[in-house]
């Protein structure tokens, strides 16, 4: 039985909530409808025209990418506007597109975690982490409207497993409710749903409360206003001392035994070429992978950040990393690293992030609700650089 795009969204956002994304990012459903039925999904790192053509050929209803199709609003939908062509092609073929970007980078599907597993890192932790502030949101709703308000809040991440408890992630839609009586007296200018002007109105109401991450609070309040029947709903926002689950970018940890940089890098590349844990869906050329540092230096502590690594150089240095492995890093970032005594391994942006697509494939494939949905990894999405020779 086919599922909806919305159900696929929920599965992904269970482990990579949109609220985890950076403010500048643009994850989520970018083209299509949450109500669209899905029988086949195409997974890709990027939404390119080649990937769209592949989706058409494969008769896929949904494309899921890591990098969003658009970061800035489109000014028009003209056929001669390169920025609009992909969206128009998707609309034309009835294909939806969903992206999970910086929120996925912080999830259990992160490529950094895959590479840490290959290296056998121990005592690992996030390279750059944060714990979200939590807010208790309390509102008062007429009994007949409680489910509509609760559902609207759930859609914005309220009540999800966001505390730092060991089993928190296994629980969603967590609310508490009690019965009570609300009262109010509308005055001139009000348009009350219940009661009349200058009449003291008493209403059987439910006190509905839950927890939301601070960064999702504004969206949750907007959803509350939209779903609540009153023109001016009553609600309380209470800051909590509890902290949310820690999440973040990258991994830093220790090798079981120190190795020279040369030995470690040779062993690491061999593991990638061998593809022993199936992190690459294709046999990719690794000849463009680069290394900077002293081959004879002993390496014990390694930092990893998939994608662009420049912003994590100082964090890796301050945490005592002997080697920093990333997707891409600029010339000055390499010099700064070497000056601080830290070697650098550059995999290339594509190779450093494609393991997430394989991890996403395995995650979706293991969900019972996806049993009747065909999932394929794009063969059109590949390293953009030409091979040597």
pLDDT digits (tens, 9 = 90+) for 258-271: 999 999 999 999 88
Domain boundaries, the chain: 3-104+355-377, 111-127+250-347, 130-247
* pLDDT band per the 50, 70, 90 thresholds, residue 213: confident
Least confident window among 283-287, 329-333, 358-362: 283-287
CB atoms within 10 A of CB 68: 20
Chain segment 322-354, per-residue pLDDT in tens: 999 999 999 999 999 999 999 999 999 999 999
> In terms of C-beta distances under 8 Å and separation of at least 24 residues, what long-range contacts does 170-175 make, across chains too?
172/14, 174/210, 174/211, 175/150, 175/208, 175/209, 175/210
Q: Which residues lie below 8 Å from residue 108, measured CB to CB, with a gap of 6+?
A: 15, 359
- Please tell me the predicted confidence (pLDDT) of residue 281: 59
18-22, 62-66, 193-197 — most confident range = 62-66
Share of the chain above pLDDT 90, in %: 76
> Per-residue pLDDT averaged across 189-201, rounded?
93
Please check whether the two domains, 111-127+250-347 and 130-247, share a CATH topology: no
Query: What is the per-residue pLDDT across 26-63, written as a single tens digit (0 to 9) for each?
Result: 999 999 999 999 999 999 999 999 999 999 999 999 99
CATH (residue range 130-247): 3.30.70.120
d(CA 196, CA 175): 32
DSSP string, 263-298: HHHHHHHHHHHHTTT---SS----TT-EEES-TTSE
Superfamily of domain 111-127+250-347: NIF3 (NGG1p interacting factor 3)-like (3.40.1390.30)
pLDDT in tens, 106-146: 999 999 999 999 999 999 999 999 888 899 999 999 999 99
pLDDT given at position 284: 64
What is the pTM (predicted TM-score) of this model?
0.77
Architecture of domain 3-104+355-377: 3-Layer(aba) Sandwich (3.40)
């Amino acid at each position: 039985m086919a599922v909806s795009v919305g159900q696929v969204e929920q599965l992904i956002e269970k482990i990579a909530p949109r609220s985890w994304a950076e403010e500048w990012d643009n994850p989520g459903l970018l083209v299509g409808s949450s109500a669209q039925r899905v029988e086949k999904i195409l997974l890709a790192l990027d939404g390119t025209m080649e990937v769209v053509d592949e989706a058409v050929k494969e008769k896929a209803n949904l494309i899921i990418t890591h990098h969003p199709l658009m970061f800035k609003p489109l000014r028009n939908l003209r056929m001669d506007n390169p920025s609009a062509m992909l969206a128009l092609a998707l609309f034309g073929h009835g294909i939806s597109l969903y992206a999970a970007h910086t929120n996925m980078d912080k999830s259990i599907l992160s490529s950094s975690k895959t590479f840490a597993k290959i290296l056998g890192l121990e005592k690992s932790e996030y390279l750059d982490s944060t714990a979200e502030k939590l807010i208790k949101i309390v509102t008062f709703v007429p009994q007949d409207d409680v489910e509509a308000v609760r559902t609207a809040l759930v859609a914005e991440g309220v009540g999800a497993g966001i505390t730092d408890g060991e089993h928190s992630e296994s629980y969603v839609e967590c609310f508490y409710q009690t019965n009570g009586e609300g009262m109010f007296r509308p005055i001139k200018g009000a348009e009350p749903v219940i009661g009349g002007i200058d009449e003291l109105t008493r209403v059987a109401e439910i006190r509905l409360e839950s927890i939301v991450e601070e960064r999702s609070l504004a969206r949750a309040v907007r959803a509350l206003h939209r779903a609540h029947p009153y023109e001016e709903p009553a609600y309380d926002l209470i800051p909590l001392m509890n902290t949310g689950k820690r999440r973040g970018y990258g991994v830093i940890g220790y090798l079981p035994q120190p190795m020279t940089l040369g030995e470690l890098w040779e062993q690491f590349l061999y593991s990638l070429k061998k593809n022993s844990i199936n992190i690459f869906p294709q046999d990719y050329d690794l000849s463009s992978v680069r290394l900077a540092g002293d081959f004879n230096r002993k390496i014990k502590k390694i930092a990893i950040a998939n994608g662009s690594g420049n912003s994590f150089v100082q964090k890796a240095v301050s945490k005592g990393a002997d080697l920093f492995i990333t997707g891409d890093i600029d010339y000055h970032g390499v010099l700064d690293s070497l000056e601080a005594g830290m070697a650098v391994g550059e995999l290339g942006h594509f190779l450093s992030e494609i393991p997430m697509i394989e991890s996403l494939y395995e995650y979706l494939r293991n969900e019972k609700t996806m049993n009747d949905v065909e999932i394929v990894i794009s063969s059109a999405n590949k390293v953009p650089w030409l091979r040597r020779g």
